Chain A
Amino acid sequence: MLSAAHLFFAYNTRASQVLSDVSVAVEPRSLVGILGPNGSGKTTLLRLLGGLLHPGRGQVLLDGKPLDRWPRRDLARRIAFVPQETVAPFDFSVLEIVLMGRYPHLGTFALEGPEDLSIGRQALRATGMDAFEDRAFNTLSGGEKQRVVIASALAQTPDLLLLDEPTASLDIGHQLDIQTLLRELNVTRGVTMVLSTHDLNFAAALCRTLVLLRDGRVVAAGPTDQVLSTSTVRALYDVDAEVARHPLAGRLTVTPLSRVSS
């Protein structure tokens, strides 16, 4: 559905390349995790995949058509983006934030009608935030905000959701909530997802496919069970770790043991 081939990107001409020769294929209904140390280019890759940045070289194709040939609004009906953090400088209610997701379907002058309202409320129900619709967004906790922004993205009715570190700065309870929510959206609603994260256990629990980035290059990519191993964790983070299947959870878990010099 979405494929990136040989992407190169630098923020300006003098700066070094943030991404070099990165290729990613995202199949329909898949759940792809992008892993890598700080500064490895995860967020940049996500922004390129969402058409928020234009690659210096290479192309991102959605249904075989380059992103820059898609009208912005048509693209927003297919791909939604959830940033790491959303700051609202003015007081918006939760429902107002969610309804902003209807923009690509409405355009500049149309006002939301009953149908948009019901899509917005459905999105709030899907993220478990339906009791909060009249609350001021700025009074919510980090985890609640993240859910509202995901609901706003769902209101775009996209078939691809890009999430930049969706669990950063959340406690383990909220991390689990987001994990459950994303899996459910993927399985029951068929929403394809690409997310970046620092949390290897979160990625191992949720993502079926991983792309490992270091210094803007793909170190390894493929099914989670095959890609996540002691050697790849070492190659990625310079950390010795035990990667083992957890007896209760039944999935791979990563336990960092010691730092190794690169």
Chain B
Amino acid sequence: MTSIRTRLSTTLLVFGAILVAVIVAAPLVGSTPISLSRALDRSVPLADNVDAQILFVSRMPRILAAAVVGAALAAAGVVFQALLRNPLATPDTLGISSGAALGAMIALTFRLEINVAGLSAIPLASLLGSLGALVTVYALSIARRQGLSTTVLLLSGVTMTAFLSALILFTQYLADFTDTFRAVRWLMGMLDVGGYIPILAVTPILLVASVMLAWLPRPLDLISLGRDAASARGVNVIRAERLALVGGSLATGGAVSIGGPIAFIGLVVPHLVRLLVGSSDHRIVLPASALFGAAFLILCDLIARTVFSPLEIPVGIVTALIGGPFFLWLLLKEHIR
């Protein structure tokens, strides 16, 4: 076996290169063909340079949004799968995205007009919604002195999701027809953020989440073998579990507030990455999943933008249409046991 150092640097290099290639290539593809040389031509002022306008104002924010959302959801998926010792866990499992969705539904239905630090009402409300769900789950996690069993976490997540879904449906029931359409559209997930500001506004939250998750790969390896096993090897299990819970939830909440609850990224990408790198070592799988999740969502969004061009379909439909069958294929090939 090659050393972990070599495997880690090779993996990061390869997945990093894939992401860079995708970020450079994806904005050049779209319903209107553009030329990179014309877009980067400094002799034409930006206001007159249509190619540059399309590249930097229309497409690039969307590409970056896809990168940030894809990375955050994939990383959160890895963390929740290890924390819950369950390969079927996703960023939605604990009800965090349902909380975000409820927030967004309320902002949509009651037409809240607020704007804080560049965040408009819908992303802001969805962020608050996810934080509300997180506070509930966290309160449950500290309610027991000896820490939390995965069963309790899973059950509370399932219950939270069902409860919040009922509230989401109720909010939609109260809404009028056009609002309902906008709401359904939001729930499908979309990355048409319309500028850099919504991404920048969520960046601090995602940075905090990244710092928290950076502590976790090795403790997660050990925790996946059991709490006693981890504790006996020197892991502060309760602290690591709380970091995972809060860090994973912040990443999820931030991502959902940008792009809506985009399905399957958090489930499929971690499994695909484990398969590609041939290891479950979280020191490799976590960063690789973040990089690959970013590239994967950019590509899915590219398909969403172009396949029925000039019509666009919601990216959440593309991820689910690709992710669902692919996941079943993984199961049938017994790559997942």
Contact = CB atoms under 8 A, between A and B. Distances in A.
A91 interface: yes
A174 to B, nearest CB: 21
A108 B215 contact: yes
A86 interface: yes
Interface stretch (A20-28, A94-102, A213-221): A94-102
Interface size class of A (residues with CB under 8 A): 35 or more
Interface string B265-294: 000000000100001110100000000000
Contact of B218 (A72, A93, A108): A108
B280 A91 contact: yes
Contacts of A91: 274, 280, 337
A134 B146 CA distance: 36
Residue with the highest number of chain A CB atoms closer than 10 Å, among B87, B221, B225? B225
Interface stretch (B3-11, B68-76, B186-194): B3-11
A101 B221 CA distance: 11
Interface string A97-112: 1011101101011011
B2 to A, nearest CB: 11
Interface in B44-94: 81-82, 85-87
Contact of B281 (A11, A96, A113, A162): A96
B228 to A, nearest CB: 5
Contacts of B211: none
B4 A108 contact: no
Interface of A: 11, 47, 50-53, 72-73, 75-77, 79-81, 83, 86-93, 95-97, 99-101, 103-104, 106, 108-109, 111-114, 117, 133-134, 138, 153, 156, 162
Given A90-B280, A100-B233, 12 more contacts: A76-B234, A83-B226, A86-B229, A92-B280, A96-B280, A100-B225, A104-B233, A111-B3, A111-B4, A111-B5, A111-B283, A113-B3
The 7 closest A-B pairs by CB, nearest first: A76-B234, A81-B232, A90-B280, A104-B234, A73-B234, A103-B233, A89-B85
